A and B are shown apart, each in its own frame.
Chain A
Amino acid sequence: MSVPEWTHMECDCSIFNEYPLTTENESLKLKSLQKALASEDIASLRYLVATRSGAVNREQRAVIWPKLLELDSWNPPQPVPHLKHKDHEQITKDIERSFVFYPKTDPDEMLSLRGRLDHLINSALCAYPGLNYYQGYHDVASIAVLIFDDLMAYKFMTKLTLMYLRDHMLPDIESTVRELKLIPELLSLVDPKLHALIGSIEPIYALSSMISLFAHDIADFDGLCLVWDFILTQNSAVLVYYIYVAVLVFYKDDLLNDLDDLLGKSFTSDDTLTEETELDLADRDLIHVTLNNFISHNLKCSHLFEILKNALRYMADFPHGTLQTTKDLSKYSMLRAASLNPELILLHTSEQERSLKRSRVSKALVSHHKTLSMVVKCSIGIGVAGLVLKYSLASSGIRPRHLGIFNAASWCFSSAHGFFETVFNGFAE
């Protein structure tokens, strides 16, 4: 979804973007937010939230986020009490490792938070058939627990799941891996020089941030909420990818310095960053690990607003609909299909299963290629040898039917034919 032009134009010049925000302007912003809420003016709300302090604080967010997601008209299935999702064992393990960064609280409160989280994850996943749990979903759900009461947390998570997360919840991780390719593609447009250095690295380094909407990697609650303020103004998960690229570009100098240190090269020098930058395996490993920890190590919340503003600008300049990666995604992907019909999860799943089956068969074809060509060559060789023998024997007066060699040649031909048939039948299935 592309950003409306006024967001792009006016985001920079709003008085609510001044730094530091004066008390006067902050109270004006709060009043404006209240007014937009009271008049159900969602467009103004989106505009106001995408300014420096976002939706301001936890209390405001508890009211504003449901409006941004338009939860008034959202009616998920009634949650079944005590129903456990099929992945509940993994969920339990992850809940034991939840609320690590925040809130700083006593053991009793922690127990209660984790109980609520368990209930929320299980009920949200059971709401629609075909949803699989992934590690990182618990990081997302824990934010909902901290902002909302149980009922609203359930409404919020069910819609967030269908709008922002469902592609990560298929039986296989393939669709997530495909979407991650948005990062190198965007980087090639936004900062070709940085792309020349890291563009060939598999973007698995961004996995935890993308599937948790940054909740796994930003350890500051207010900072994370500001990121979510911006994400939730968009009605699509796509801004998440633009934000990731904006972080890399914003901290490009730090990133290059880190890589200089680790790789013993001078990436900070302009000459090094050319299309010809060649990396060996050890370099690639080090770049992966640097990027993998980059957000948790380098991102400063005081820079977040600048980064988010840049992300919106990149999104306006390079709409995701024009990117090749988006075009390559399934038509059922949350980044392509705006519909929230839960049927899409099942359709996406069966499409993915078919494509995995096809790729398994083509792998089988490749691995049988050598055997196949050997059988064919042998068959032809024996056949040709048989014909040569036939004519040489005939010319010397010996009758060929006395010899088994022709039967052998014909067997070789038919076995090659049978092999072809087996493989291609498999492929057709």
Chain B
Amino acid sequence: MSANRAKTFDKTMKLLLVGDSGVGKSCLLLRFVDDKFNPSFITTIGIDFKIKTIELNGSKIKLQVWDTAGQERFRTITTAYYRGAMGIIIVYDVCDENSFDSVKKWYQTVNQHAKDEAQLFLVGNKCDDTESRQVSEKQGEQLAEELNVPFMEASAKSGLNVNEMFYKLASLILEKNGEDLAAPADKLNVHQQSSVTGSSCC
């Protein structure tokens, strides 16, 4: 393969999805990158990422989105990856009150391990499921206000707000960092792919 491919993006951004097990982190990522939804999804063990290039304010930005295992015991492994993240999305499930209660714990973990300038974002997933909902949008908004982070409800299943949340986060990071974002080095002139993994697992 040639190392002299044409440059296909201007900037690269590392994002990270965290939150309790089963809130739909991998599903949000699959919807965003491949525009797919799989109701029977295997658990994520360890840490993995997918890549998608988006266009924002006229520049092409390569988003490298890391997906993490939700179970507490894997946290010592996953927190090692917080440091490099420019944006961190804390996800909860609007149908699972416990996962909403865990948001503050995740917020603390993130603050402890991420860079100070990392942009946080709160997302309530599964908002399509009105019957099983346990956490109202208002509660989500209040918590986001308290933590002083932007907030959105989304649904990996219906696709609602999935692109929006990633674009919004990317534009907030762009505003914060402007030209400081890592420009692609020569060796990183990877041919644009919607996903490097294409996997439904991990």
Is B201 touching A217 in the complex (CB atoms < 8 A)?
yes
Min Cβ gap B166→A in Å is 18
Q: Is B40's beta carbon under 8 Å from chain A? A: yes
Min Cβ gap B94→A in Å is 16
Residues 267 to 282 of chain A near chain B (Cβ within 8 Å): 280-282
Q: Measured between alpha carbons, how far is A205 from B199 in the docked complex, in Å?
A: 14
Q: Is A303's beta carbon under 8 Å from chain B? A: no
Is A94 touching B43 in the complex (CB atoms < 8 A)?
yes
Is B71 touching A134 in the complex (CB atoms < 8 A)?
yes
Is A211 touching B199 in the complex (CB atoms < 8 A)?
no
Residue of B nearest to A96 (CB): B22
Q: Measured between alpha carbons, how far is A266 from B3 in the docked complex, in Å?
A: 8
Q: Measured between alpha carbons, how far is A202 from B76 in the docked complex, in Å?
A: 13
A264-B190 contact, Cβ under 8 Å, with A97-B43, A173-B76: yes
* Contact of B202 (CB < 8 Å), options: A93, A173, A265, A293: A293
* Contact of A207 (CB < 8 Å), options: B40, B77, B187, B201: B77
* Contact of A208 (CB < 8 Å), options: B2, B46, B80, B196: B46
| B contact residues around A97 at 8 Å (CB) | 22, 40-43
A204-B47 contact, Cβ under 8 Å, with A173-B73, A261-B1, A293-B197: yes
Min Cβ gap A418→B in Å is 29
| B contact residues around A212 at 8 Å (CB) | 45
Is A205 touching B46 in the complex (CB atoms < 8 A)?
yes
Is A264 touching B189 in the complex (CB atoms < 8 A)?
yes
Convert A285-302 into 0s and 1s, putting 1 for each residue whose CB lies closer than 8 angstroms to a CB of B: 110111011001100000
Residue of B nearest to A94 (CB): B43
Min Cβ gap B134→A in Å is 15
Residues 204 to 247 of chain A near chain B (Cβ within 8 Å): 204-205, 207-208, 211-212, 216-217
A interface secondary structure, majority: helix
| A contact residues around B84 at 8 Å (CB) | 281
Q: Is A172's beta carbon under 8 Å from chain B? A: yes
Is A265 touching B187 in the complex (CB atoms < 8 A)?
yes
Is B48 touching A264 in the complex (CB atoms < 8 A)?
no
Residue of A nearest to B184 (CB): A282
Residue of B nearest to A297 (CB): B199
Residue of A nearest to B80 (CB): A202
Is B45 touching A136 in the complex (CB atoms < 8 A)?
yes
Convert B103-126 into 0s and 1s, putting 1 for each residue whose CB lies closer than 8 angstroms to a CB of A: 000000000000000000000000
A289-B197 contact, Cβ under 8 Å, with A93-B21, A97-B42, A207-B45: yes
Q: Is B69's beta carbon under 8 Å from chain A? A: yes
Residue of B nearest to A101 (CB): B42
| B contact residues around A347 at 8 Å (CB) | none
Q: Measured between alpha carbons, how far is A96 from B27 in the docked complex, in Å?
A: 15
Q: Is A324's beta carbon under 8 Å from chain B? A: no
| B contact residues around A297 at 8 Å (CB) | 197-199
Q: Measured between alpha carbons, how far is A171 from B71 in the docked complex, in Å?
A: 12
Is B42 touching A260 in the complex (CB atoms < 8 A)?
no
Q: Is B188's beta carbon under 8 Å from chain A? A: yes
Q: Measured between alpha carbons, how far is A293 from B45 in the docked complex, in Å?
A: 11
Residue of B nearest to A283 (CB): B187
Q: Measured between alpha carbons, how far is A177 from B77 in the docked complex, in Å?
A: 9
Q: Measured between alpha carbons, how far is A265 from B4 in the docked complex, in Å?
A: 10
| B contact residues around A89 at 8 Å (CB) | 98
Q: Is B5's beta carbon under 8 Å from chain A? A: yes
Residues 3 to 23 of chain B near chain A (Cβ within 8 Å): 3, 5, 12, 21-22
| A contact residues around B198 at 8 Å (CB) | 297
Is B46 touching A292 in the complex (CB atoms < 8 A)?
yes
**18 pairs, CB–CB < 8 Å, chain A vs chain B:** A94-B21, A96-B22, A134-B71, A138-B43, A204-B47, A204-B77, A207-B45, A207-B46, A208-B202, A211-B45, A217-B201, A264-B1, A264-B3, A266-B3, A283-B187, A292-B48, A296-B201, A297-B199
Interface positions of B (Cβ within 8 A of A): 1-3, 5, 12, 21-22, 40-43, 45-49, 64, 69, 71, 73-74, 76-77, 80, 84, 98, 185-191, 196-199, 201-202
